[in-house]
Amino acid sequence: GAGVSQSPSNKVTEKGKDVELRCDPISGHTALYWYRQSLGQGLEFLIYFQGNSAPDKSGLPSDRFSAERTGGSVSTLTIQRTQQEDSAVYLCASSMRQNYEQYFGPGTRLTVT
Amino acid sequence: DQQVKQNSPSLSVQEGRISILNCDYTNSMFDYFLWYKKYPAEGPTFLISISSIKDKNEDGRFTVFLNKSAKHLSLHIVPSQPGDSAVYFCAASGGGADGLTFGKGTHLIIQP
């Protein structure tokens, strides 16, 4: 595709439910990143994939968060037992290689009620 | 501890004048710096970047200056246009992190 796409664009869920967010990176980009932006804050780095592997998962806020990437392409970010503090915009980005310009998707706005 | 700081939450500039957005960083291991522009309900859009081996990079109306000794960078937009009104994020790469480290952003408002 022409750019990074994310789905859904908006998600409202009840506290305690699980959610799954999807990211389709730019074709050929080997590096994929997840960030989140809480209200009034900058972007907070969550996790990075080089190919299908994530070398370091320590940026994930808690063990309720997990992410995977398959086929070197699509990635999913899963949040289990959502809490109100998980409400944020979750952004995915991809780049040709690590530490190069990253191109962002439009984000998924998650609201936990 | 914020490693990338944008101390001006907002900036108002008259159309046609120069906009100067500032950014400071604390991690001396950062080796690549980027500016992103963000409109509401959209993801950040890459604008311009600079490697730590340079002190200036220019692209059309946008110029980024890097002062490594002061750990400071700035984005100059000249002339400023109404479409430049957006939130601008400074970001840094390296320093041991896998992802980019972002500042909190500066909301630039171009006045007609």
pLDDT at A1 over 60: no
- Predicted pLDDT of residue A80: 98
Alpha-carbon span B88 to A29, nearest angstrom = 24
Confidence of residue B107 (pLDDT cuts 50, 70, 90): very high
Residues in chain B closer than 8 A to A45 (CB atoms):
97-102
Task: Note the pLDDT of residue B17.
Answer: 98
- In degrees and rounded to multiples of 5, residue A85 shows phi and psi of -70, -5
The whole-number pLDDT of residue A3 equals 93
Question: A59 phi and psi, to 5 degrees?
Answer: -75, -15
pLDDT band at residue A5, thresholds of 50, 70 and 90? very high
d(CA B4, CA B58): 22
Q: Please tell me the distance from the alpha carbon of residue A55 to that of residue A60, in angstroms, as a whole number.
A: 12
Q: What is the predicted pLDDT for the residue at A99?
A: 65
Q: Looking at the complex, does the CB of residue B106 fall below 8 Å from at least one CB of chain A?
A: no
Q: What pLDDT sits at residue A109? A: 97
Residue A88's nearest CA partner among A25, A17, A11, A16 is A11
Contacts of A113 (CB under 8 A, 6+ apart): A12, A13, A14, A15, A84
Contact assignment for A4 to B45 by CB distance below 8 Å = no
Nearest by CB: B93 against A43, A44, A99:
A99
Would you state the pLDDT for residue B94? 86
- What is the distance between the alpha carbons of residues B100 and B89, in angstroms, rounded to a whole number? 11
In tens, the pLDDT along A53-105 reads 888 888 899 999 999 998 889 999 999 999 999 999 999 999 987 767 899 99
Mutate to test the interface with A, among B27, B37, B100 (most CBs of A within 10 A): B100
- Once rounded to an integer, what is the mean pLDDT over residues B48-56? 96
List pLDDT tens digits, range A13-43: 999 999 999 999 999 899 999 999 998 788 9
**Residue among B31, B49, B101 minimizing CB distance to A45:** B101
- In A1-113, the DSSP E strands lie at 5-7, 10-13, 19-24, 31-37, 43-50, 65-69, 75-79, 88-95, 103-104, 108-112
| CA B104 – CA A37 distance, rounded (Å) | 10
Residue B87, chain A, CB below 8 Å: the answer is no
pLDDT tops 70 at residue B6:
yes
- For chain B, what percent of residues have pLDDT higher than 90? 91
